[in-house]
Structure formats: C-alpha cells, structure tokens
Amino acid sequence: MQPVPAMPKSWRLDNKPHKFCPGCGHGLILKCLGKAIDELEIQSRVVYGCDIGCSLLSWDLFNLDAVQTHHGRTTPVMAGMKRARPELICIAYMGDGGGYSIGVQHLVGAAMRNEKITVIVANNTQYAMTGGQMAPTTLPGQKTETSPYGRDAETTGLPFRGAEMIAAIVPEGAYVARGSISHLTQLTRFLKKALKNQIDGHGFSFVEALSACPTNWRTDAARTWEFVEKDMAEHFKRGEIKIPGKKEAVTDA
C-alpha cells in the first residue's frame, strides 16, 4: 500500500490523485490555497471559481462549493456572486491566459472597483491546455507553438507584469502580491493574507503564482526548476506589491 500524501483538510480525498500532469504547478498552488483556507477556518464560507484552461481541472478538487466558468470570465462570475452575497468568500482561480489576455478587462474592472474578491493567477508563461501557445507572459526568446523561433519582443512585446499593473490601478485597501511554487511557505502566506483582506472587507486581493508546465516546456525536473527559479524570476519579482495601509511597495519579502 502506498502512503497517502498529506493533503489539506479542505481538499476532497475521494477523487484523488488530481488530474494535473506530473510536475504541474497547479497542484502545488492549490495545496497552498487549501492550507490557507484551513488555517483561516473558512471552508464553509468559500466559493471557489475556476476558469478554462488547466485550472478547470480543479473544479472538484476541493471540498468547497465551486463553479467552473468560461475562459477569462471567472472574475465577473465571482464579483457578481460577492455583490449578491457579501458574506461568501469568493475566489477566482485562473491561468495567465485567462487573467492577462482574454479576461484582462474583467481583471482591470474588478481591481478598479476594488471588488472584495480574491483573484489568483497561475503564471506558467504560456497556454497549457490548448497545447503550449505564446501568452502575454511568455519570456523573450521562449519557444512556444505560436512562437516557434522564440518570442520576439519587437513584434510581440515583453512579458506582461500583471501584478504590477494591478498594483498600479487598485484603490487603497487592495492587496497585491506575487509568489512562486519555488517558495511554498511564502506563497501560502500571501494567499492567506489575500483571503484575510477579503474577509476583513478591505478590498480587492490578488496573488500571482509563478507556476510550472514541464509538459509544454518539454523540460526535465532540473530544467523545470531552473526555469521557474531563474528564467522566470528575472522577469517576475516575488513579493508583496501592495498592502493596505502601507505606502511603499515591498519586494522579495
């Protein structure tokens, strides 16, 4: 008999193992999220929304009420839900395609209005479920199915810094941070603070989590970690960018 790995209390056990590819970052991020929910003891109040893309595979991952929506549209579904029932704790979980490309207007709208929801964007630098196309977050020179010769910044731009953009437009009361699957304790702390910000009714909360996709990156374990810890880290700084009540941005906390 194989030993059962430790799972957050808020995870469903009856349908594990989960459906993500081996080495996928989603499992790690959602484990951190599960821990944050456990520690805050909010399992009976959370509604978990997930997007299209690999994030949709998490629709029944938790022992939480959940809704799986359309590509990019999880933000307005959860914002609409929160407006209708403010006592619920609404989480919108999506990839970088959903958050920063097709759903970016929703992200901007929700952030600007300081919607009291928590948005989590898993950034793996490309569209994974559709087979590894270029995303706004793709690194310069990175090869994807739609940038087979490497992303050319001249014609397709530079990696999109979503967390920094959100931080620039949110009103006071919002919380914005970027964590990584390379630093799980820190990521859990950020997620917990983001949820706490919603619970306290301060405003919008946002966490980007640097993630990994060895399937589409076509990387082995060592190169996968190197890509997350070195290549991605060069463009995406970990840290808290916006904290309610604090004037200065803090990086690499």
Partner 1 sequence: MTEAPVIEEKRVFMTGNEVVAWAALAAGADIMYGYPITPQNEVMHYWSRLAPRYGRNFLQTEDELSAGFATTGGVMAGSKAFTATAGSGSVLMQEPMAMAEMMRLPTVTVVQQRGGPSTATVIYSQQEVTLTTMGGNGEGIRVVYSTAGHQDLYDYTIKAFNIAWKYRFPTFVLGDGYQAKMREPLTIYDPERRGIKLLQPDPFVGGEGEPGRDRPPAQYRNTYNLEEELYEKIMSDMREFEENSADIAEYESRHTEDAELVIIAHGIVFRAVREAVDNLRRQSLSVGAFRPVTLRPLPGGQIKELAARVKKILVVESAYGQIARLVKEKVCGAACEIYSMFKPGIGIAAAEVEMRAKEILAKQ
Q: Under the rule (CB under 8 A), what is the footprint of partner 1?
A: 10, 12, 43-45, 47, 52, 56, 59-60, 62-70, 73, 75-85, 87-88, 105-106, 108-109
Distance CA 103, CA 100 (A): 6
Pick 64 or 213: Cβ nearer partner 1: 64
Pick 5 or 148: Cβ nearer partner 1: 5
Pick 73 or 242: Cβ nearer partner 1: 73
Q: Minimum distance between the CB of residue 168 and partner 1, rounded to whole angstroms?
A: 17
Q: From residue 239, how far is each of 36, 45, 132, 190 by CA, in Å?
A: 17, 28, 27, 9
Which segments within the chain are labelled E, that is strand?
Answer: 46-50, 65-68, 89-95, 118-123, 126-127, 133-134, 175-180, 205-210, 239-242
C-alpha angle 78-183-165 in degrees, rounded to nearest 5: 50
Distance CA 243, CA 152 (A): 34
Q: Minimum distance between the CB of residue 37 and partner 1, rounded to whole angstroms?
A: 11
Pick 158 or 168: Cβ nearer partner 1: 168
Distance CA 49, CA 75 (A): 8
Q: Minimum distance between the CB of residue 31 and partner 1, rounded to whole angstroms?
A: 16
Pick 88 or 184: Cβ nearer partner 1: 88
Pick 56 or 119: Cβ nearer partner 1: 56
Q: Minimum distance between the CB of residue 100 and partner 1, rounded to whole angstroms?
A: 15
Pick 58 or 215: Cβ nearer partner 1: 58
**HSE-up (13 A, CA, CB side) for residue 175:** 24
| CB burial string 86-101: b at 16+ within 10 A, e below | eebbbbbbbbbbbbbb
Q: Minimum distance between the CB of residue 165 and partner 1, rounded to whole angstroms?
A: 15
Q: Minimum distance between the CB of residue 73 and partner 1, rounded to whole angstroms?
A: 5
Identify whether the C-beta of residue 28 lies closer than 8 Å to the C-beta of residue 185: no
Instruction: Count the residues in the chain.
Output: 253
Q: Minimum distance between the CB of residue 85 and partner 1, rounded to whole angstroms?
A: 4
- Taking each helix axis as running N to C, give the angle between helix 184-199 and helix 26-40, from 0 to 180 degrees, rounded to the nearest 10: 50
